Amino acid sequence: MDRSVTRRLALIHTVRSLVPVFSALTREVAPDVTTTDVVDEALLDEAVAAGKVPPATAERLEGHVRRALDDGADAVLVTCSSMGAVVDELRARHDWPLLRVDEAMVDAALAAGSRIGVVATLGSTLRPTAALVSRRARELGRDDRSVEVVTRLVDGAFASLKAGDLDAHDAAVRAALRELIPQVDAIVLAQASMARVADTLGPGEAAATPILSSPRLGVGRAAELLDRLDAGRASS
Q: Does residue 1 sit within a domain?
A: no
What's the CATH code of the domain at 42? 3.40.50.1860
Q: Which amino acid is at 38?
A: V
Same domain, 199 and 231: no
Same domain, 131 and 161: yes
Same domain, 114 and 181: yes
Same domain, 151 and 107: yes
The SS3 call for residue 53 is coil
225: Cα separation from own chain's centroid? 16
Same domain, 19 and 89: yes
Q: Does residue 2 sit within a domain?
A: no
Give me the residues of the chain with pLDDT under 70, please: 1-5, 236
pLDDT digits (tens, 9 = 90+) for 107-161: 999 999 999 999 999 888 898 899 999 999 999 888 778 899 999 999 999 889 8
Whole-number Å distance between alpha carbons of 80 and 22: 12
pTM here is 0.89
Cβ neighbours of residue 129 under 8 Å, at least 6 residues apart?
81, 84, 102, 106, 118, 120, 188, 190
Whole-number Å distance between alpha carbons of 90 and 97: 10
Cβ neighbour number for residue 119 with a 10 Å cutoff: 27
* Domains in the chain, number: 2
Domain around 67: 7-101+216-235
